[in-house]
Amino acid sequence: MSIFETNTLVVSGVSPEDGIGEAISTRSNIFELTQLAEASVLRPMEYGMFPHDVRAALAYRIAANAGETQLAEHYAAAFGDNYNIAQSRIIEEKLDSTLIPFVDKAAHATKDIVAEDILKLQAVGVSDADIVRLCELIAFVAYQVRVVVGLRLMNGGI
Amino acid sequence: MSKVLHKFTRKVPKWRPRVKPVKLADATPAQLEALKVTPSSTKVSEYVLTLAHDVEILKVRSPLFNAIMYDKGGMSRSERELGAIAASMVNRCVYCAAVHADRHDKLSSSTEVTDKLLARGMNAELSPRDAAIFNLARKLSESPPQANAEDLMALRKVGLKNEEILDLILSTSLFGWANRLMHVLGDPIQLAEDE
């Protein structure tokens, strides 16, 4: 796979012929690792309480709320029946009414996160391992959103 | 006695996890492989042991972090640290900001930039080049990201080449990731003996 076929570069719309293509090629290892990281957080073998379709739905939600509609569309293809999570309708009230606000806060108001936010997840039965898995997913998508936005700016887009 | 720090500081605090880290003695073979340690190791940080709950991403994130922050060419390492500091200030990751202010100081052999950032925060008056770098990194770190074509043009005006701008985008974005682990999963702690 060419690095220009990795999801991050495809979504950002950058091609090898673009003016920034040469600079991107000098960091090909970083885009290869970014592609691996996406697979590790979106489609891990040990997914805990977050199956792949739920992860895709959450990734969609994080990207869409960050204004990154093209990245959101990339994730939309994978979330199947979990459309409700992406649109923040409550499926399992006790869990989702805690989980979704946490995802939104950690993704978009990171500075406001406090210890109580983690305690709330633990109180509804989310294990410590699943809290770490969830934070890795949120954090990766936050990274990917910014790489895509930055590359698009570099390439002369908005 | 210890207290949670809320203000940015130059002195690197201790990090206290909000979830239970993996116990090295109980670590699975996959966790030990990701940690690159043996069960008899004693120098694994609580942060890394916390992240060991998800070994699949830990194994990828470590080399990705090293490539973005340390690979040769492109932007200087100290300027990549400036991107990391800007992201950490936006996301209020006190621990990350302290660690990377320290690295910036050592790499640039000066505390001038971080003195200004610690004293005046986002309003610090930096050199034109540092200001353009910090501004792009700060705005890219906001949610939704606020960086725009004008900010990109400002980088080009102070002489940054494509390779440098790419490294700034990558290092800033990487700290959008790191902050959401360090700041969300734990607290920066000042120990009583440090006061």
B112 and B168 assigned to the same domain? yes
CB proximity list for A99: less than 8 A, separation 6 or greater: A121, A124, A126, A134
Report d(CA B148, CA B129) in Å as an integer: 17
Report d(CA B114, CA B98) in Å as an integer: 10
Whether B65 and chain A come into contact, CB under 8 Å, resolves to: no
Q: Of A110, A136, A156, which is closest to B91 when you measure between CB atoms?
A: A110
B11 and B88 assigned to the same domain? no
Give the number of other CB atoms < 10 A from CB of residue A63: 26
Give the CATH number of domain A3-154.
Answer: 1.20.1290
Contacts of A20 in chain B (CB under 8 A): 162, 166
| Yes or no, beta carbons of B56 and A140 under 8 Å apart | no
| Yes or no, beta carbons of A66 and B64 under 8 Å apart | no
Whether B48 and chain A come into contact, CB under 8 Å, resolves to: no
State mean pLDDT over A60-85.
86
Q: How many CA atoms lie within 13 A of A114 on its CB side?
A: 5
Report how many domains make up chain B. Answer: 2
Which residue range is the domain that position B13 belongs to? 2-68+187-194
Q: Is the pLDDT of residue B95 over 90?
A: yes
Q: Of B18, B20, B63, which is closest to A33 when you measure between CB atoms?
A: B63
B63 and B120 assigned to the same domain? no
B151 and B96 assigned to the same domain? yes
Are the C-beta atoms of A37 and A119 separated by less than 8 Å? no
Domain ranges of chain A: 3-154
Domain annotation covers residue B119: yes
Are the C-beta atoms of A158 and A152 separated by less than 8 Å? yes
**pLDDT mean across residues, chain B:** 94
Give the number of other CB atoms < 10 A from CB of residue B67: 17
**pLDDT mean across residues, chain A:** 91
Domain annotation covers residue B172: yes
Provide ipTM, 2 decimals: 0.95
The CATH number of the domain holding residue B97 is: 1.20.1290.10
CB proximity list for B151: less than 8 A, separation 6 or greater: A153, B132, B135, B136, B139
Q: How far is A153 from chain B (nearest CA, A)?
A: 6
B64 and B112 assigned to the same domain? no
Q: How far is A71 from chain B (nearest CA, A)?
A: 13
Q: Is the pLDDT of residue A88 over 70?
A: no
B59 and B135 assigned to the same domain? no
Domain annotation covers residue B182: no
φ/ψ (deg, to 5) at B2 = -150, 160
Report d(CA A157, CA A15) in Å as an integer: 13
State mean pLDDT over B128-149.
98
Report d(CA A128, CA A122) in Å as an integer: 7
B96 and B166 assigned to the same domain? yes
- Which range (A89-98, A107-116, A120-129, B65-74) has the least confidence? A89-98
B153 and B97 assigned to the same domain? yes
Q: Is the pLDDT of residue B194 over 70?
A: no
Domain annotation covers residue B62: yes
Domain annotation covers residue B88: yes
Report d(CA B126, CA B107) in Å as an integer: 17
Q: Which amino acid is at A17?
A: E
B86 and B47 assigned to the same domain? no
Residues A37-64 have pLDDT tens digits of 999 999 999 999 999 988 999 999 999 9
B79 and B61 assigned to the same domain? no
Strand order in the sheet with B14-17: B2-4, B186-191, B14-17
Nearest chain A Cα to B30, which residue? A46
Q: What proportion of chain B, given as a percentage, has pLDDT over 70?
A: 94
φ/ψ (deg, to 5) at B4 = -80, 130
DSSP three-state, residue B4: strand
User: How does residue A79 score in pLDDT terms, banded at 50, 70 and 90?
Assistant: confident
Residues B34-49 have pLDDT tens digits of 888 665 666 889 999 9
B41 and B12 assigned to the same domain? yes
